[in-house]
Amino acid sequence: MNIQASRLNKNRSRNSFYSNLFPAGSTARKIMSFGGIPFVVLLILYFIINSIVMPVITRHGEEFALPDFQDQRLTEAQLGIKDLNLAFEISSEEYSPGKEKGIVLNQFPIAGTNVKEGRVVKFVVSLGQKNIIIPDLSGLSVRQAMLNLETAGLVLGEIAWAFSDTLPEKVVVFSYPNQGVEIPMGTTVNLMVNRGRASNFTFMPKVVGMTLDEATALIEDKVLKVGIVTYRIDENYLPETVLEQSESEGTELDIRTEIDLVVSTTE
């Protein structure tokens, strides 16, 4: 019986302390019951979630720097992704001059970004060099042919002149490479253009920068002649290099016109 009385006294002592501190029916007791105790419980829950649960879920401390997969073949990048327990997807594919098909052009996140296992890495992959079929340019004016080439992703190259009595003047006779040929995008296409009836005129080529022998051969090939050759000391060029020509490139000239040249010398 004494033991029971002792326990009873202890319980009464505890209840008496709480009752004295927060008397029944008092405002302090109501605040403690409806605000203080829930606050303490929430604080404990926050500590448990923040310190124990969330680190487990987010694998805190397991981040690592993402390697650089650019310029790798997609098959090689896949192996690296698998070894790091990451995932990947191809976000887009693009034509890329100079890059083989299947090469990784870009990645997201970029190299060096801290990631965790399971992160999806997005790749932009090369489709390789895009090839273009040369359109039919015959019968078009030079300007229209140039526009058609630009639209197709090609570039106008050299223009050579032909003479024909059966075709309109200044229209494209043919291209070379010829129509229908498949070539890489950005390649130059040369044109053969009708100059009209055959006559006794020709066009001045550019010979500046050539050796005197090369310039002479080209001038004679255009049915022109080499006229007066003047030498000028210029140590910036190798000897026998053409520095100036008396007629500008593309000038229409009578055949056998003499072309004067200024040529470099070191003496």
pTM above 0.75, yes or no: no
Residue 200 has what pLDDT? 72
Q: Which residues contact 214 (CB under 8 A, 6 or more apart)?
A: 207
CA dist 51 and 60 (Å) reads: 11
At residue 131's C-alpha, the angle toward residues 125 and 135, to 5°, is: 150
pLDDT tens series, the chain, 267 aa: 444 445 545 444 445 555 666 566 666 666 656 655 666 677 777 777 666 655 555 555 578 999 999 999 999 999 999 999 999 999 999 988 888 899 999 999 999 999 999 999 999 999 988 899 999 999 898 889 999 999 999 998 888 888 776 778 888 989 999 999 999 988 999 999 887 765 677 888 899 999 999 999 999 988 899 999 999 999 889 999 999 999 988 888 888 899 999 999 987
At residue 31, what is the residue type? I
CA dist 192 and 172 (Å) reads: 6
The helix/strand/coil state of 3 is: helix
Residue with tokens 């000897």: 239
Distance of CA 177 to the CA centre of its chain: 28
The helix/strand/coil state of 188 is: strand
